[in-house]
Amino acid sequence: MQALEERIRKDGVIKEGNVLKVDSFLNHRMDIELINEIGREFRRLFPDKSINKILTIEASGIGIACITAQYFGCPVVFAKKTQSINIDGEVYSTQIKSFTHNRTYDVIVKKAFLSPDDNILIIDDFLANGCALLGLIDIVKGSGASIAGAGIVIEKGWQNGGELVRSRGIRVESLAIVESMSVENGIVFRHEQTV
């Protein structure tokens, strides 16, 4: 998605530890016009009319998922990060290792909000090592719902999350795939790669 790539190049900040900061337009201050285009693009890529729910994870995924959901006419469910899992059997739970915070969270979704009749689109801001996405997939599988695919705003192509998830037969559509980034050479998107 060209407008997104241009924005990443203009306002993305390359930080230590393989982190791309996009908090000036995506996940702290949010450029709603751009996110609206992102939502429209996800709809174009996933035209399947049977998609009836969007699943994301707090916090950064929520805003993007909500705007996207308006193009799908469906509700959003977000997985909650929690300190303590309630063991009354009312929630699906999994563990997710956070890439940016280097810690592991228990993540839950109330069972009543997912059903085997659902066809779910997963949305998230970043795909890096794939822990967040694999955790969400785990939760959906536990519920017996179908997975229409995953819509990712920015995939970091040199980390192996994309490969891991695609190798499980899940369709992953990333609107921008950063193939490499460094302060010296800037950002190279996958389609610009020379070799």
Please report, as ranges, the residues that interact with ligand 5GP according to CB under 6 A: 19-22, 27, 60, 99-100, 124-133, 156, 161
Nearer to ligand 5GP, 52 or 56 (CB): 56
Choose between 81 and 111: whose C-beta lies nearer to ligand 5GP: 81
From the CB of residue 15, how many other CB atoms can be counted at a distance below 10 Å? Answer: 12
Judged by beta carbon, residue 91 or residue 127, the one nearer ligand 5GP is: 127
**Angle made by CA atoms 28, 176, 124, in degrees to the nearest 5:** 50
Give the SS3 label for residue 71: helix
Residue 60 vs 93, nearer CB to ligand 5GP: 60
Give me the least distance between CB of 122 and ligand 5GP, in Å please: 11
Long-range contacts from 186-195, C-beta under 8 angstroms, 24+ separation: 186/9, 186/14, 187/8, 187/9, 187/12, 187/14, 187/20, 189/5, 190/157
Q: How far is the CB of 31 from ligand 5GP (least distance, A)?
A: 15
Smallest distance from the beta carbon of 85 to ligand 5GP, in angstroms? 19
Return d(Cα 174, Cα 148) in angstroms, integer. 14
CB 88, min distance to ligand 5GP, A: 27
To the nearest whole angstrom, how small is the minimum distance from the Cβ of residue 21 to ligand 5GP? 6
Taking the complex as a whole, the smallest distance from the CB of residue 124 to ligand 5GP amounts, in Å, to 5
Cβ neighbours for 167, distance < 8 A, ≥ 6 positions apart: none
Taking the least distance from each CB to ligand 5GP, the nearer of 41 and 155 is 155
Both tokens of 74, joined, read 């469906």
Alpha-carbon gap, residue 79 to 108, rounded angstroms: 5
Nearer to ligand 5GP, 46 or 126 (CB): 126
DSSP-derived letter for residue 73 is T
